[in-house]
Structure 1
């Protein structure tokens, strides 16, 4: 059976994959297929639906620049609203018809003879594409902790990425593992219904007060009728987030006092919320703010004041059929285990599928043996006609849409040049890739990751070799500018 032929195969139907499809369609490509392993579009906003789910970036910034949404109900919109926004974008820009759901990609291999990518699917079929774009996201591979006895637990196990709406949490005795951004949203909601909640914390998180408020229908109508009004608000939220990134993450040594001030704000918030000195100490991080993603909440700390909510920091030794045993031998009986344990960022996500390029180069193996790297966060030498949107140095600023916007510009410049030259093949040069890697490495020296105290943060920003290669250590303005103006000579185009 011959493979189906496409101009472009895009893996992933979240905001990244949709953005790539929109940009390519704008350039005249229509023979596109978007492959999605889930049963609907939206990526993380389709998969995640746990109680309390909301975006932790102001909604005015967390959206495509070219498609503002005047109908956000809150400054920090709920997960269901983000899902609805994704559906609106897919329909308005006519990308839904290119999508195939319940389709798992096993891997892709570059065929030198045909100059095409052969994309293997889990059902045994193969697609052939001139261009391959992976938009699998940074948070797409759920992590299940390797705790002795976890498979023996006899009660209900729920991972936050596969929330079971049919499970009744009323009057349950729940053990929750994890205190990251997801747990900060979920814990206050669970505490409202369960009889007993024990939170198992490995690493405390910096939590600042959340300035959230509803956006009235009148303001929504104003945004819809006068788009410039919403643009003005976006300039403010973009500017604030850009300022926080510039001073707190990218240039830590020069603005250390501001970072200390941010940590003091979190400490004051914690002091006002919790009067128990020992409990406050357990919830206090030992690393600098910014080493791992902080969070916002007005009720996370206060939840631990409730008599039926307990914070456990002794560490888990093992799990038994009816409870969790800590390293000091104490056991808490539970009937429901909630895993707010995040994602396998580096182990299973870089790359999310097996990619084999020119000369048999395996991307995952090459990254681990030669440092994690990608020119402008999208291209890798020896991988022709391939763009990886979830790559080292790709994530820019604090909003994923910042990343997507500059990558769309990069795609637009690159594919426009292909059309101008009537060319079919591109590949980033080794020299350009090395130059970009050296620049990123140098810039990281003044970031909080290297100049601050990140010991004990257990941050997913760091790869297994200890390098902070997730974030692009530049401003959003720099990324957008380079996405629009990078030297075309950095690619070998034929």
Structure 2
């Protein structure tokens, strides 16, 4: 049986588009990119809340092979990322392969036919030679099941389903969560609402945001002399490497750098918040890096406003017009905002049911054993599967580093497949086990295991207590490995 497509790619965000570009460069033209939302862009299409912006400098948060000289700020607003995604799709002619509003429920490897059968909600199935999962790391929103929340009579807005017609003016609002999204959103709501109560479970490390408008003369320079933008990208990458690789992943050897970052964040908090009690409540009791830190110049200062209150007591229940905390305090509210993040390890890895050889269910296998993926992209018993958002795949602080290193891995792997005129590839159990042992050993030096992370409630940790998301190497190492991994680590048939 000839499959309908060379590859089915699940997800039309930057990961899926990068995979499509790499496959097209290898000569695979029959591609189907299936996206559950109504347009491309992934998180930059789904998220539209006020204050949305990248938390990595724009020159780094983009494909290195497709620089954008038109960023208006060092930390570009979300709308510009959406426009950039549209530009990439147009330049590389990706829209013709995309289908929107398509929910992929299941994919199963057919050993006899040597292809993937992909099942879509509504009963449709399609077949492909390769399956690429590019559903993103943060794609399955988490909604807490508080007692009585279903009886709340006011409006509930999740940050991933923002109501742009809602303005909060004159309202008593509440927001649950103080992660990176909430840090951007809270100052915006506070400037509009009559009252805002921020329900915090775990404080977040926040450092000053060195943000500024990029002057038109600089943007013109980037456009005319691309080398200047590449140099700016290189400088920013070096800074990120120092924060992430040295201060976080080599915590044992570089505790002073980690402590310096925490000290800078504490100083930022001290000069920003007047109330000593509020400062204490906003101070994390875990080491810097246990949980992804963020940048903001507005967040802390919002708690100096007379209309904004920080609440750290746990929520007991909801009533039709209020939130009640475990100390009996009742907070009347009109609108509830859920900045409660995403369900990573329960449903995001993977975001659909994937069944490989011998009936192995990927999600069940990961949960029953350890989360693992060779070089963060391939799994034994899953032929012709390229899983982009996998354990130990996230490299550095920019998602684009991860995407491009995986594109390099794909080019080497599939180039060898073509050279051998083979039909399938599958990583060996030996190679997978050796990679898992190597990353586990390297993570032993990280803040996740050497630092104090027990109170961080970080999504970096899975159900087994392992920090199985980040690749514990430098970005240069990830690119080197993607281009030089032993081809004998795969079986070709």
Sort the TM-score into its range (normalised by shorter chain). over 0.9
Give the match for residue 203 of structure 1: 202
Which residue number corresponds to residue 153 of structure 1?
A: 152
How far is the alpha carbon of 1:3 from its aligned partner?
10
Matches within 5 A, 1:59-138: 59-138=58-137
Distance in 2 between the 1:409 and 1:220 partners? 29
Q: Which secondary structure state, in structure 2, belongs to the residue aligned with residue 254 of structure 1?
A: coil
Structure 1: gaps spanning 5 or more residues:
none
CA distance in 1, matches of 2:439, 2:272: 40
**2: distance between equivalents of 1:211 and 1:268?**
15
User: Can you list the C-alpha shifts for 1:379-399, whole angstroms capped at 9, x where unaligned?
Assistant: 000000001100000111000
Q: Tell me, what secondary structure is at the counterpart of 2:348?
A: coil
Residue by residue, what CA displacement relative to the aligned partner does 1:357-414 show, whole Å, maximum 9, x if unpaired?
Answer: 0010000110111200000000000000001100000111000000001000000001
Q: Is the 8 A contact 2:3 2:115 kept in 1?
A: no
- Say whether the 8 Å CA contact 1:4–1:126 is kept in structure 2: no
Which residue in the other structure is 2:314 paired with? Answer: 315
Match of 1:168?
A: 167
Q: Which residue matches 2:254?
A: 255
CA distance in 2: counterparts of 1:370 and 1:345, whole angstroms: 17
Question: How much has 1:261 moved relative to structure 2?
Answer: 1.2
SS of residue in 2 equivalent to 1:432: helix
1:23 alignment partner, SS class:
helix
1:447 maps to 446
User: For each residue in 1:311-351, what CA deviation from the matched residue of structure 2 results, as whole angstroms up to 9, or x when unmatched?
Assistant: 00011001111010001000100010000001001111011
> Secondary structure, in 3 states, of the residue corresponding to 1:130?
strand
Aligned mates of 1:261, 1:156 — CA distance in 2: 42
Corresponding residue for residue 374 of structure 1: 373
Check conservation: 2:324, 2:330, Cα contact below 8 A.
yes
Is this contact kept in 2: 1:323–1:332, CA < 8 A?
yes
* Match status 1:357 vs 2:365: no
Shift of 1:195: 0.3
The answer to whether residue 18 in structure 2 is matched with residue 19 in structure 1 is yes
Residue equivalent to 1:213? 212
CA contact (8 A) 2:38 2:100 kept: yes
Q: Which is further off, 381-390 or 266-275?
A: 266-275
Tell me which residue corresponds to 2:240. 241
Q: Is the 8 A contact 2:197 2:310 kept in 1?
A: yes
The 1-side partners of 2:257 and 2:419 are apart by 48
**Structure 2 gaps, min length 5:** none
1:29-68 equivalences under 5 Å are 29-68=28-67
In the TM superposition, what is the alpha-carbon distance from 1:258 to its structure 2 partner? 1.5
Q: Distance in 2 between matches of 1:323 and 1:139?
A: 30
* Structure 2 CA distance for aligned equivalents of residues 182 and 371 of structure 1: 29
- Aligned partners of 1:247 and 1:266: how far apart in 2? 17
Aligned to 1:289: 288
Q: Deviations over 1:97-118 (max 9, x none)?
A: 1000001101100111101100
Q: Provide the C-alpha distance between the structure 2 equivalents of 1:187 and 1:206, rounded to a whole number of angstroms.
A: 15
Give TM-score scaled by structure 1 length: 0.99
Q: 1: CA distance between counterparts of 2:41 and 2:2?
A: 27
Report Cα offsets for 1:224-262 as digits up to 9, x if no partner.
000001111111001110111122111101111111111
1:475 pairs with 2:490: no
Aligned CA-pair RMSD = 1.0
Give the secondary-structure state (helix, strand or coil) at the position aligned to 2:324.
strand
- Tell me the SS of whatever aligns to 2:253: helix
* In 1: Cα distance, 2:420 partner to 2:273 partner: 65
CA distance in 2, matches of 1:424, 1:32: 17
CA distance in 2, matches of 1:169, 1:423: 59
The answer (yes or no) to whether the contact 2:167–2:192 under 8 Å persists in 1 is no
CA contact (8 A) 1:3 1:127 kept: no
1:485 aligns with 2:488: no
Q: Secondary structure at the match of 1:372?
A: coil
How far off its partner does 1:168 sit? 2.8
The whole-number CA distance in structure 2 between the counterparts of 1:104 and 1:52 is 29
Q: How far did 1:210 drift?
A: 0.5
Residue 422 of structure 1: aligned partner:
421
Q: 1:4: how far off?
A: 6.9
Rounded to whole Å, the distance in 2 between the matches of 1:170 and 1:3 is 59
SS at the partner of 1:348? helix
Once residues 367 and 141 of structure 2 are traced to their aligned partners in structure 1, the CA distance between those partners, rounded to angstroms, is: 21
CA distance in 1: counterparts of 2:3 and 2:433, whole angstroms = 36
Structure 1 distance, partners of 2:444, 2:194, is 48
Cα displacement string for residues 284-320 of structure 1 (whole angstroms, at most 9, x for unaligned residues):
0000000000111111000001111000001100111
CA distances 1:136-194 after superposition (whole Å, capped 9, x unpaired): 00000000012111111111000000000122311111010000000000000111110
145-154 or 448-457: bigger deviation: 145-154
Q: Segments of 4+ in structure 1 off by > 6 A?
A: none
Please report how far the alpha carbon of residue 266 of structure 1 lies from its aligned counterpart in structure 2 after TM superposition: 0.9
Aligned-partner SS, 2:345: coil
User: Secondary structure of 2:344's partner?
Assistant: coil
Q: 2:230: which partner in 1?
A: 231
- Between the aligned partners of 2:146 and 2:130, the Cα distance in structure 1 is 41
Provide the C-alpha distance between the structure 2 equivalents of 1:440 and 1:102, rounded to a whole number of angstroms: 37
Aligned partners of 1:391, 1:18: CA distance in 2, in Å? Answer: 17
How many residues end up aligned between the 2 structures?
A: 493
* Contact 2:321–2:333 (8 Å) recurs in 1: yes
